[in-house]
């Protein structure tokens, strides 16, 4: 049974999403460093430390986003991408079959 959705468009979308995530990774890494340093402030109340730990945990979730992008890519049948790219190379007219 042929795939009716565009594997190439999904692949391209994941390329774009990965690019945005990679651009965000460095600033988020810097924010994580700052939050860790803030935890070292003298006489910091426990409730503030707890919130900083939560912030650090949220920043670390970027790895989950990267894993999700990999998961989407792994779910795209490679054959579908290759076949669709070959069809697109010869024009975008759909088959009557």
For residue range 21-56, what is the model confidence (pLDDT) as tens digits? 999 999 999 999 999 999 999 999 999 999 999 999
DSSP characters over 57-68: HHHHTHHHHHHH
Position 87 scores a pLDDT of 84
| Residue 2 belongs to some domain of the structure | no
| Residue 97 belongs to some domain of the structure | no
For 40, the domain range is 7-86
How many structural domains does the chain have?
1
Instruction: Give the C-alpha separation, 69 to 47, whole Å.
Output: 34
- Structure confidence at residue 82 as a pLDDT band (50, 70, 90): confident
Position 84 scores a pLDDT of 87
| Residue 94 belongs to some domain of the structure | no
Average pLDDT, the chain: 91
| Residue 96 belongs to some domain of the structure | no
């Amino acid at each position: 049974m042929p795939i009716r959705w565009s594997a190439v468009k999904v692949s391209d979308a994941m390329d774009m999403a990965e690019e945005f995530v990679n651009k965000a990774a460095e600033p988020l890494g810097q924010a994580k460093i700052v939050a860790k340093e803030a935890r070292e402030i003298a006489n910091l109340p426990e409730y503030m430390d707890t919130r900083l730990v939560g912030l650090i945990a949220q920043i670390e979730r970027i790895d989950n986003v990267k894993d999700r992008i990999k998961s989407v890519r792994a779910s795209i049948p490679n054959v579908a991408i290759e076949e669709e790219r070959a069809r697109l190379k010869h024009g975008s007219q759909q088959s009557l079959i």
